[in-house]
Amino acid sequence: MNALSLTPCGLAIEDVVDVARNFTNVELSSEVLKRVKEARTTIDKAISDGKVVYGVNTGFGALSDKTISKKDLEKLQRNLILSHSAAVGEPLDTETVRALMLLRANTLSGGHSGISSETLELLVNMLNERIHPIVPGKGSVGASGDLAPLAHVALALIGEGKVQFKGKVMRSDEALKIAHLKPAKLGSKEGLALINGSQLITAIGALTVYDSENLSKASQIATALSLEALNGRVDAFDKRIHMVRPHKGQIAVAENVLKIVEGSQIVSESNHKRVQDAYSLRCSPQVIGASKDAIEYVRKVVEIEINSATDNPLIFAEDGDILSGGNFHGQPLAIAMDLLAISLCNIGNICERRVARLTDEKLSGGLPAFLVKKKSEEGVSSGFMIAQCTAASLTAENRCLSNPSSVNSIPTSANQEDHVSMGLTAARKAKETLRNAEYIVGIELLCAAQGLEFRDVEKAGRGTAEAYRTIRKVAPSLDEDAELAPLIEAVAGIIHKGEIVDNVEKIIGKLN
């Protein structure tokens, strides 16, 4: 099995996804081990020289003015882990824990944290052995980093707390013994090095932005399918319109939709009675394009954070300096995660409006009410009536979730930490907004596929025809009322796994 080698500033979002979801192994490069040892030497020298250094031989937070004697330095670090393991709520899922472990290992690999090579190697070995700490998901204010959740990872490193291993939940020391690993014995600064940073925000952010890029493409496929099902006009996607207002995302979405419907006889042969479509079709490049641009910005923020030193204090071995600062503050990520949630909410907003048009006989351009196929069943069958209600419910929920967290600072630690980012709340909300948006787009794809059958599937575009075929592999056409929940789950599933985007791109080429 190929392993991902950690090198300073060399990790990509795709690497995080690969390790988190595909269980790719991780190894430490010789350059990393060299830098880690140099930083550790700098810490040891500072202690032997009698220097007072925050987090090394002082208390933490509001107790930073308390100097700790040499004999208590190891106890200080152990107590830090125990006392900070205060997260609550449902445990994080496995892929998030794996991303969290990888990102913490990557940050420590930069050689600015003072971790020992033995402790870092244990963290990597636990990841490779699939010993996953049980980490409750709530309790971080996003400064000083994700202290409480990261403490639960560190707890497992010292043989305390619980982990998931070989399909069971067990004590960490038991799992380490089975895997022939020894718990870490933390030296000075090591406990702080393990928990001080924004890695949980970044872990959720990396996975969510990756999935958001996929959802953006899926929403454009849904737009194209609805364009055909609603007998829409392609005029609004003409490149000339978008070049005179040249936002990158807007141009790309217009090009993508035209690419997906290329070859469609439905849109080319339509005898339109209306001169223009409703905004949910006509303005989709402007709306989805704006979200696409925002998602691209969020990716850049997350990519920077993945390879950043977010510890405190930071060690600069080349100068022999140990500097206290605030790189643990999650504000850049908090704002980005809020923006991501807003962007995903807007994709869902416009998508739900198209679902409403597809199911409303007064707005759908000739489709039957709620897409019921049999004329004799009108009134007897409800068709996709409640699917639209579900989409509306999820859209309303996303509007609540997209209210920003990054403005909601609340003081902690006896007002020593008097401004915090609330970045983890923002990241968790963005993830939930994404999941809701996947369902909303899935409902649109179901409705648009049903609507397309009232036009002529054989006349669909190359991309829309492939989207239709992919949908029908998991969700059959409805000739009469049936339970909709399994169909919605199935289509949302092929969105989340990237199947519908992959299949369409195999036919028409990569979407922008």
Q: By C-alpha distance, which of 9, 3, 16 is closest to 35?
A: 9
Token couple for 240? 């000339």
How far, in Å, CA of 358 to CA of 361, rounded?
8
How far, in Å, CA of 447 to CA of 459, rounded?
18
Task: Evaluate whether 127 touches 26 at the Cβ level (below 8 Å).
Answer: yes
HEC string for 193-258? HHHCECHHHHHHHHHHHHHHHHHHHHHHHHHHHHHHHCCCCCHHHCHHHHHCCCCHHHHHHHHHHH
Indicate if the alpha-carbon torsion angle 317, 319, 324, 329 is positive or negative.
Answer: negative
Q: Is the pLDDT of residue 26 over 70?
A: yes
Domain of residue 191, CATH code: 1.10.275.10
How far, in Å, CA of 404 to CA of 429, rounded?
9
Give how far Cα 325 sits from Cα of 214, 314, 428, Å. Answer: 37, 8, 26
One domain, residues 450 and 496: yes
pLDDT at residue 210, rounded to an integer: 98
Task: Evaluate whether 266 touches 281 at the Cβ level (below 8 Å).
Answer: no
**pLDDT tens digits along 127-177:** 999 999 999 999 999 998 899 999 999 999 999 999 999 999 999 999 999
Helices (H), strands (E): how many in the chain? 20, 9
What dihedral do alpha carbons 401, 405, 411, 412 form, nearest 10°?
60
One domain, residues 118 and 159: yes
Q: Is the pLDDT of residue 279 over 80?
A: yes
Task: Evaluate whether 280 touches 354 at the Cβ level (below 8 Å).
Answer: yes
Element (H, E) at 32: helix 30-48
Global pTM value: 0.96
Listed residues 146, 170, 197: the one ending a domain: 197
Structure letter (DSSP) for residue 92: P
Q: Is the pLDDT of residue 270 over 90?
A: no
Structure letter (DSSP) for residue 375: G
One domain, residues 262 and 356: yes
One domain, residues 208 and 193: no
One domain, residues 311 and 247: yes
Q: Is the pLDDT of residue 8 over 90?
A: no
The distance in angstroms from the start CA to the end CA of the chain is 32
One domain, residues 174 and 262: no
Q: By C-alpha distance, which of 324, 296, 298 is closest to 311?
A: 324
Domain residues for the domain of 165 are: 3-197
Q: Is the pLDDT of residue 379 over 90?
A: no
Q: Is the pLDDT of residue 271 over 70?
A: no
- Which amino acid, one-letter code, is at 500? I
Indicate if the alpha-carbon torsion angle 311, 315, 318, 319 is positive or negative.
Answer: positive
One domain, residues 353 and 493: yes
Q: Is the pLDDT of residue 495 over 70?
A: yes
C-alpha 291, offset from chain centre: 15
pLDDT confidence tier of residue 291, bands split at 50, 70 and 90: very high
pLDDT confidence tier of residue 260, bands split at 50, 70 and 90: very high
The strand ranges marked E within 308-377 are 314-316, 321-323
pLDDT confidence tier of residue 1, bands split at 50, 70 and 90: low
One domain, residues 192 and 296: no
The strand ranges marked E within 373-456 are none
Listed residues 197, 215, 249: the one ending a domain: 197
One domain, residues 263 and 157: no
Q: Is the pLDDT of residue 284 over 70?
A: yes
How far, in Å, CA of 485 to CA of 388, rounded?
12
Q: Is the pLDDT of residue 262 over 90?
A: yes
Considering the candidates 54, 210, 439, 468, report the single residue annotated as catalytic. Answer: 54
One domain, residues 450 and 328: yes
Token couple for 278? 């409703």
Q: What is the domain count for the chain?
A: 2
Q: Is the pLDDT of residue 59 over 90?
A: no
The answer for 366, left when phi > 0, alpha when psi is -120 to 50, beta otherwise, is left
One domain, residues 270 and 314: yes
Domain of residue 445, CATH code: 1.20.200.10
Task: Evaluate whether 100 touches 200 at the Cβ level (below 8 Å).
Answer: yes
Indicate if the alpha-carbon torsion angle 348, 354, 359, 363 is positive or negative.
Answer: positive
One domain, residues 101 and 209: no
Listed residues 170, 197, 224: the one ending a domain: 197
Q: Is 54 considered catalytic here?
A: yes
pLDDT at residue 416, rounded to an integer: 87
Mean pLDDT (the chain) is 95
**pLDDT tens digits along 402-436:** 999 999 999 998 888 899 999 999 999 999 999 99
Q: Is the pLDDT of residue 376 over 70?
A: no
Phi and psi for 258 in degrees, rounded to 5?
-65, -35
